[in-house]
A and B are shown apart, each in its own frame.
Chain A
Amino acid sequence: MNRASLIFALLLAVLVPLSLLAGRVWINPFAADLAPNALLILAELRLPRAVLGIVIGAGLGAAGAAMQGYLRNPLADPGLFGIAPMAALGAVASFWLGAFVPPVLAAWSLPLMALTGAGLGMALLALIAGRTSSDAAGGAGGGIALFTLAGLMLASLAGALTALAITLAPNPFALSEIVLWLNGALTDRSWREVAIAAPLTAAGIAVLALAARSLDALTLGEEAARSLGLNPGRLLALLVVGVGLTVGAGVAVAGIIGFVGLVVPHLVRPLTDRLPSSLILPSALAGACLVLAADSIVRIMPLVTELRLGIALSLIGAPFFGWLLLRMRRGQL
Chain B
Amino acid sequence: MLAAENLALVRGGKRVVEGLSAELRPGTITAIVGPNGAGKSSLLLGLAGLLAPSEGSVMLEGAALASLHPRGRAQAIGYLPQTPDIAWDVAVESLVALGRLPWRDRGTAAVEAALAALDLQPLRHRPVSQLSGGERARVLLARVLAGQPQWILADEPLAALDLAHQLALLAHLRGCAASGQGVVIVLHDLATAMNHADRVLVLKDGRLIADGPPQTALAPQVIAQGWGVDARWLGEAGAQALIAGRAAG
Instruction: List chain A positions with a Cβ less than 8 A from chain B.
Output: 72-73, 137-139, 213, 216-221, 223-224, 226-231, 273-276
Query: A224 to B79, Cβ gap below 8 A?
Result: yes
Query: B11 to A138, Cβ gap below 8 A?
Result: yes
- The tally of residues in B whose CB lies under 8 Å from a CB in A reads 37
Instruction: List chain B positions with a Cβ less than 8 A from chain A.
Output: 9-12, 45, 48, 50-52, 69-71, 73-75, 77-81, 83, 85-91, 94-95, 98-99, 101-102, 104, 143, 147
Nearest CB of A to B79, in Å: 4
Query: Which residues in A have their C-beta under 8 angstroms from that of B88?
Result: 72, 219, 274-276
Query: A273 to B91, Cβ gap below 8 A?
Result: yes
Query: B78 to A275, Cβ gap below 8 A?
Result: no
User: Binding site of A, secondary structure by majority: helix, strand, loop or mixed?
Assistant: loop
Query: Which residues in B have their C-beta under 8 angstroms from that of A137?
Result: 52
User: Binding site of B, secondary structure by majority: helix, strand, loop or mixed?
Assistant: mixed
Given A223-B45, A273-B91, CB of A217 within 8 Å of CB of B81: no
Query: B101 to A213, Cβ gap below 8 A?
Result: yes
Nearest CB of A to B154, in Å: 11
13 A-B pairs (CB sep. < 8 Å)? A73-B87, A139-B51, A219-B87, A220-B85, A220-B86, A221-B83, A221-B86, A224-B80, A226-B50, A229-B73, A229-B75, A274-B89, A274-B94
Nearest CB of B to A237, in Å: 15
Query: A223 to B50, Cβ gap below 8 A?
Result: yes
Query: B70 to A231, Cβ gap below 8 A?
Result: yes
A276 to B90, CA, bound (A): 10
A219 to B86, CA, bound (A): 6
Nearest CB of A to B54, in Å: 8
A139 to B70, CA, bound (A): 15
Query: B52 to A230, Cβ gap below 8 A?
Result: no
Query: B74 to A228, Cβ gap below 8 A?
Result: yes
Query: A139 to B101, Cβ gap below 8 A?
Result: no
Give the nearest-CB partner of A138 in chain B: B51
